[in-house]
Chain A
Amino acid sequence: GAGVSQSPRYKVAKRGQDVALRCDPISGHVSLFWYQQALGQGPEFLTYFQNEAQLDKSGLPSDRFFAERPEGSVSTLKIQRTQQEDSAVYLCASSLEGGQGIEQFFGPGTRLTVL
């Protein structure tokens, strides 16, 4: 079956531009996570959705970052007025539920480069 997909795979933005990154989770997965992975580092949590409800956005680094999942399926991570420090790989993951220990399935990521 289809896994988690993300688009675009690569995005180059000029500083100050707005970008939108899309995640298509596995069908039927209730939980959706966004992570940010800087070069040479492990992923860091950004935000969590249970269906359409954003239950945890404690990892969003600034108010320039905004995420939504309006129908409880596809999610979009939007970054306004991009800065060079936003350059990273953005990973989306989904799981059947949000219980502790449940496996998360990761997408291939979107590599964002801000010039």
Chain B
Amino acid sequence: GNSVTQMEGPVTLSEEAFLTINCTYTATGYPSLFWYVQYPGEGLQLLLKATKADDKGSNKGFEATYRKETTSFHLEKGSVQVSDSAVYFCALSLRGGYNKLIFGAGTRLAVHP
């Protein structure tokens, strides 16, 4: 079936460290891929997306590249800030599936000063 697997958290980093959160997927067809973020006390919000192979999504210093050959969409940021502390969800949607999202379990990131 269709699914998303994320690295388990929590991920704890010092400010200005490099961040990678791994995400791999299993899907029939060609999915669109997303990273959503949930800041403490807030709702889910879209961080970035990519809709076809080799596309790179980017926003707020975060990047992720759609890798069809490795079925991956890893999230990276070169220098994290305390304000990046949140839960990050990788997700996919399928063509013909009304764009319903299939989420990973989420990865909690804690950044310390």
On A, residues with C-beta under 8 Å from B are: 3-4, 31, 33, 35, 40-45, 48, 50, 55-56, 59, 91, 93, 95, 98-109
A-B CB proximity, top 9 nearest: A42-B103, A101-B32, A106-B44, A101-B51, A98-B98, A108-B43, A45-B100, A106-B43, A48-B98
Closest CB-CB distance, A37 to chain B, in whole Å?
Answer: 8
Can you report 10 A-B residue pairs in the complex whose CB atoms are below 8 A from each other? A31-B99, A42-B4, A42-B89, A42-B103, A42-B105, A50-B98, A56-B97, A99-B99, A100-B95, A102-B99
16 extra interface residue pairs, beta carbon distance < 8 Å, beyond A43-B103, A98-B98, A106-B45: A31-B98, A40-B105, A42-B89, A42-B105, A42-B106, A43-B101, A45-B101, A48-B98, A56-B98, A91-B44, A98-B99, A100-B51, A100-B93, A100-B95, A101-B51, A106-B44
Asked if B49 CB lies within 8 Å of chain A CBs, one says yes
Per the bound structure, the CA–CA distance linking A45 and B42 in Å amounts to 20
Contact (A100, B43) CB under 8 Å given A41-B105, A44-B103, A45-B100 = no
Nearest Cβ distance between residue A65 and chain B, in whole angstroms? Answer: 16
Q: Considering the chains assembled together, what is the distance between the CA atoms of A88 and B94 in angstroms?
A: 25
B72 nearest CB across to chain A (Å): 17
Q: Which residue of A lies closest to B41 (CB)?
A: A108
Beyond A42-B89, A101-B49, A108-B43, whether A55 also contacts B98 by CB under 8 A is yes
A98→B96 CA distance, assembly (Å): 9
B75-113 contacts to A (CB < 8 Å): 89, 91, 93-106
Q: Please give me the residue from chain A that is nearest to B106 by CB atom.
A: A42
| Given contact pairs A43-B44, A101-B32, A106-B44, A33 touches B100 in the complex (Cβ within 8 A) | yes
> How far, in angstroms, from A35 to B32 measured CA to CA in the complex?
18
